Copies of this chain bind each other. A is one copy, B any other.
Amino acid sequence: RAVREVLFFPSRPCCTEELLAEAEGRGGRPAPCPCPLPRADCSFSRLLRRLLSARRSLELCLFAFSSPELGRAVCVLHRRGVRVRVVTDSQYMALRGSQIGVLRLLGIQVRHNQDVAFMHHKFAIVDKKMLITGSLNWTMEAIHSNRENVVIMEDAEYVRPFLDEFERIWEECNPE
């Protein structure tokens, strides 16, 4: 059955440390996080779980990417051998706190638009079959303060056009 899920933000506060530490899998059970946040599911942990489910590929097309937790999740996937490709906005990526520099240092392929208009998408495609899209920029303010939505879908009528659009943008943003 196709996944059809809607997440609203701001997310209720919840601890995502163990989720991320487990995904990083440095051997053994991760030490319990000392923070006082509840361990229950929240919109943010659900988003992280969907991303961390990637096994083969992850396409990211993101206006803004500064959330350290989402940065950690993407790095884990890269280390696991998932093929990660990122397209981002040329103006936003230069701002303080952007995760884009970290991703590049790790060898993740990143491209950005070459024109002045905004690359304003905020979508991810997991294993070419799950689309995650909405109003949510990948920033701490968006996750923890703003009113935002994320829609998760596996229906091919939605996933296919976004995949095609990603490939189009990826080629257009080729610096060579």
List the interface of chain A (C-beta within 8 A of B).
4, 6, 8, 10, 63, 113, 117-123, 133-136, 141-142, 145-149, 151, 153, 155, 157-158, 161-162, 165, 169
User: What are the residues of chain B within 8 A of A155 when measuring CB–CB?
Assistant: 4
Across the interface, name the chain B residue whose C-beta is closest to A134. Answer: B133
A162 CB to closest chain B CB (Å) equals 7
Tell me whether A162 and B6 are in contact in the complex, defined as CB-CB below 8 angstroms, given that A133-B134, A149-B133 are known contacts.
yes
- CB of B147 within 8 A of CB of A162, answer no
Assembled-state Cα–Cα distance A123/B117 (Å):
22
Number of identical protomers: 2
- CB of A158 within 8 A of CB of B151, answer yes
Across the interface, name the chain B residue whose C-beta is closest to A148. Answer: B120
Assembled-state Cα–Cα distance A136/B118 (Å):
11
A155 CB to closest chain B CB (Å) equals 7
Across the interface, name the chain B residue whose C-beta is closest to A137. Answer: B120
Tell me whether A147 and B161 are in contact in the complex, defined as CB-CB below 8 angstroms, given that A4-B155, A135-B135 are known contacts.
no
Assembled-state Cα–Cα distance A79/B135 (Å):
30
- CB of B158 within 8 A of CB of A146, answer no
Assembled-state Cα–Cα distance A8/B120 (Å):
11
- CB of B117 within 8 A of CB of A145, answer yes
Assembled-state Cα–Cα distance A107/B147 (Å):
26
User: What are the residues of chain B within 8 A of A141 when measuring CB–CB?
Assistant: 117-118
